[in-house]
A = this chain, B = another copy of it.
C-alpha cells in the first residue's frame, strides 16, 4: 500500500465510512463482483450468497461510494438544473418539484443560477458539464436555440418556459398564451374594457406568450389593442411599480391591470396604493403564476394558476426518461384562474 496511512485516515474521516465493497465481499466470503451484482441486480445470484452479502452489508454498514461507481460505470447519477435566480419565489417552487422528482429516481440535482445573463448561463452549463451531469434542466433559458441544440448532443436537455425542437430535447411547458387569455377574458367578462398590461422582459418567449394571450382576448372581445396601455416590466416588483407610474403619468385611463407575473403585480398594487387608487374598487389587478404569497397580499391577488411544482416534477420525470432513452410522456399541467379579491366587476 503506497498511500500513506495518514491520507487513508483523512479519507475515512471525510466520507464517514471507509467500508468498501471489497470488505463486504470478504466478510460474506464471496468475490467483489458478486457483491456488485447483488447491489445492482445485474445478474442472478444464489439465494444463500445474497443473504450472506446482505448480512455483511448490514453488519458493516456499507454504503457504496457513488464516486467510484460513477467512474466505473460512466454515470454520475446527477443532473444539472439551471435556474435564473435560485432566490426567486417562482423558481423556488419549481426547484422543490425538481428536487422531489429527481431524488425519487435516485438522481441528485445540481442547482446553479444564471442570473438572467447569457454569459453566466453559459458558464453554468460548462460547470455542469465538467461535473459530468447526465442531463441538464434549463428553466427559462436565455441561450439561443442553436446553442441548445448543440448542447443536446452532449447531454439530454429538458427546457421549460420555451419551445425548442431537437433530438434529446424535451420541453415541459405550459403555454402561457392560454393563461394570459384566461386572465384577460375574465377581466373583460367583468366589464372591463380599458385593461392595462404590464409586460415581462421583452425578449423572452414566455413573456411574449403572455402578451399574445392578452392581445388575443382583447381581439375576441372586440377591444382595440393599444400600446398606450402596455408598460414595460421585468418580472420584478420594481418593474411593476415603475410600470404603473409610467402608465398613470402618461394619462391613459384604465380600470384593470393584467401583470405578466405576480411579482410585477405586487409592485403594481403598491404603486396604485401610493397614488391613492384602491384595489379593486378603482382598479382591478390580475397576476400570473399564483405564487404562494399571492393569497396573502392585501387584497389577496387574483392570479393565473399553474402548478409550478408540477412543472418542476414534470421536468424531472422527463429528464429521467430522456436519460433512460425513453420518450418522455407529455404531461400538460392545466392553467386555471385563482379568483381572489383584487378584481371586481366594473359597475356600469
Interface residues of A (CB under 8 A from B): 7, 10-11, 13-17, 63-68, 70-71, 74-76, 85-89, 91-93, 95-96, 99, 103, 108-113, 127, 129-132, 134, 153-155, 237, 241, 266-267, 269-270, 273, 292-293, 295-300, 309
| Chain B neighbourhood of A87, CB < 8 A | 89, 92-93, 95-96, 292, 309
- Whether B129 contacts A16 by the Cβ 8 Å rule is yes
- Whether B86 contacts A132 by the Cβ 8 Å rule is no
CB distance from A139 to the nearest CB of B (A): 13
User: How far, in whole Å, are A198 and B272 apart by their CA atoms in the complex?
Assistant: 29
| Chain B neighbourhood of A14, CB < 8 A | 74-75, 132, 134, 154-155
| Chain B neighbourhood of A298, CB < 8 A | 269-270, 273, 297-298
Give 23 CB contacts A-B under 8 Å: A7-B74, A14-B132, A15-B132, A16-B154, A64-B130, A66-B131, A66-B132, A67-B70, A67-B71, A87-B92, A89-B89, A99-B112, A99-B113, A108-B127, A108-B131, A110-B110, A237-B292, A241-B296, A266-B296, A267-B296, A269-B298, A270-B297, A293-B293
Number of copies: 2
Secondary structure at chain A's binding surface: helix, strand, loop or mixed?
A: helix
* One of B63, B68, B127, B129 near A15 (C-beta < 8 A): B129
CB distance from A148 to the nearest CB of B (A): 14
CB distance from A188 to the nearest CB of B (A): 26
| Chain B neighbourhood of A111, CB < 8 A | 95, 99, 109, 111
